[in-house]
Chains A and B, each alone.
Chain A
């Protein structure tokens, strides 16, 4: 997915001179070609995320569109107030792209984990969040949204979904198994564990790769209330982070959330092991979903 990010943004920089890429001293090697070609529009800003964010807002004020890139906790959590005020409150447009997901930097410990980012970004009015589950999805989302006049957060993951859905709807919704009384909607990369988790469980299976003000109505439009009464959302980040995007569904469906427990994770190990520790591996998800059906 990271390579798709580099290729797609590099291509966009070639074609759109309003785009300015600001790197928080990561991904520099991957962007070396465009950095060489456009030294004024591709900058390694260094490791100063607060100033980078406000600096980017100043760039945005001039009419350019900054793309900011770093590891999730440093892109979102450290400069949160700069994002909120300088972009959100001031209605300036920036595109934020993180790597690391919740536990991609599993061996590096809690400072590099970021299961809280979606909750934070979702708290800023006007931001839409993209959670691609494959490089192909990311490419499509970037191509459609890099130039829009709206603040966007793209949350990259090391995990790659290779299964093709049976049907795709607008707003990043895809169908993997026909709806039943209960439909489980796996957000972002959680579909990768979700497909295995739901094998043999009598539920419909869908994936969701974008969150914005239209998400709830888009989800509702894909389901028939005569057939489906309960939706379980699986969140690959802190449980409940997505609630406010989806709360209006409560008037039609019983909605439940299964996500990362709100506890600090002090473990090291592989990403799979940390998913196990956080009850987000396929076996744990199966158990948690079955308990709700």
Chain B
């Protein structure tokens, strides 16, 4: 994993791209994407998602895809031209990721509750059918955890001892207005998973969680995060959930970006 200072710089670049993409397309779930920037930047640094036959990244909260597109751009997988065509008829990038079109996207998500069981199936296949050392890393949202299929998937992941599966719960509290998940860590633990609570924007905590010794169980990182992190006027402001970024907002966001 790269040094924290490098990752901080990369996250800032990613956030800039997210804002520019959303402005250019007049589309995108910006705060949800900003929420998972550190998760994506850190995981791409820690795991090997680039080489075929190695680790696999699954973004289950598909509406956070601008963060993934930004990382894929910074890695050279996607071009600026492709970013410019975000949500356009001739483009490959949409408001949710499409595995049939986008290099680096392993699952077409957007409908919540699909990505984690999909990732569990992949992890099972890698470990038990192919017998290789591939790891699967899956990001889900906390609101997404309302979907029962995730809890079904945790049962499966635990039953099959998928210690090659790491689940990142982007716990930004966006689901609290409907259903409180607390005590989330206790609930996950009771399913037979290895639970680690981290600050989802703190690289030292993330590094430590990623590097912990495998326990023979699936790992679930309950990552406390801030929806809209890095752009103060968007942070924890539900009005920005799926709001078009106009020029004035873009300029203000870039100016205030931290």
Contact = CB atoms under 8 A, between A and B. Distances in A.
Contacts of A147: none
A55 B156 contact: yes
B4 interface: no
Given A45-B156, A61-B106, A91-B100, A50 B148 contact: yes
A45 B159 CA distance: 10
Contacts of B107: 61, 86, 90
A103 B107 CA distance: 36
A244 B173 CA distance: 45
Contacts of B153: 51, 54-55
**Interface SS of chain A:** helix
A90 B113 contact: no
Given A41-B129, A61-B106, A85 B152 contact: no
Contact of B123 (A48, A58, A81): A58
Contacts of A91: 100
A113 B76 CA distance: 52
Given A85-B108, A90-B107, A90-B108, A55 B129 contact: no
A57 B126 CA distance: 13
B100 A55 contact: no
Nearest to A48: B152
Interface in B118-142: 118-126, 128-130
A58 B108 contact: no
Interface size class of A (residues with CB under 8 A): 20 to 34
A56 B124 CA distance: 10
A86 to B, nearest CB: 6
A82 interface: yes
Interface in A17-67: 20, 40-41, 45-46, 48, 50-64
B129 A46 contact: no
A61 B111 contact: no
Nearest to A90: B108
A169 interface: no
B102 to A, nearest CB: 12
Given A64-B129, A81-B111, A58 B100 contact: no
A54 B153 CA distance: 9
Contact of A56 (B116, B121, B123): B121
A92 to B, nearest CB: 9
Contacts of B114: 54, 82, 85-86
B117 interface: yes
Contact of A58 (B120, B130, B149): B120
Interface string B67-100: 0000000000000000000000000000000011
Interface in A65-107: 81-82, 85-86, 89-91
A236 B245 CA distance: 53
B152 A58 contact: no
Nearest to B134: A62
Nearest to A92: B99
Contacts of A82: 114, 117, 149
Contacts of B155: 46, 48, 51
A55 B117 CA distance: 5
A81 B110 CA distance: 12
Given A50-B152, A51-B149, A58 B129 contact: no
A55 B108 contact: no
A208 B114 CA distance: 35
A258 B144 CA distance: 43
A53 B117 CA distance: 8
B120 A62 contact: no
A54 to B, nearest CB: 4
A59 B117 contact: no
Contacts of A52: 117, 152
B118 A61 contact: yes
Q: Which of B99, B108, B120, B152 counts the most A-chain CB atoms under 10 A from its CB? A: B152
Contacts of B159: 46
A129 B196 CA distance: 45
Contacts of A86: 107, 114, 118
Interface of B: 99-100, 106-108, 111, 113-126, 128-130, 148-149, 152-153, 155-156, 159
Closest 9 interchain pairs by CB? A58-B121, A51-B152, A62-B125, A54-B117, A55-B121, A48-B152, A58-B122, A51-B117, A50-B149
15 contacts: A20-B125, A41-B129, A45-B156, A51-B152, A52-B117, A54-B121, A56-B121, A57-B121, A58-B120, A58-B123, A62-B130, A82-B117, A89-B100, A90-B100, A91-B100
Given A61-B106, A61-B122, A81-B111, 11 more contacts: A20-B129, A46-B155, A48-B152, A50-B152, A51-B155, A55-B120, A58-B117, A58-B125, A61-B125, A62-B122, A90-B99
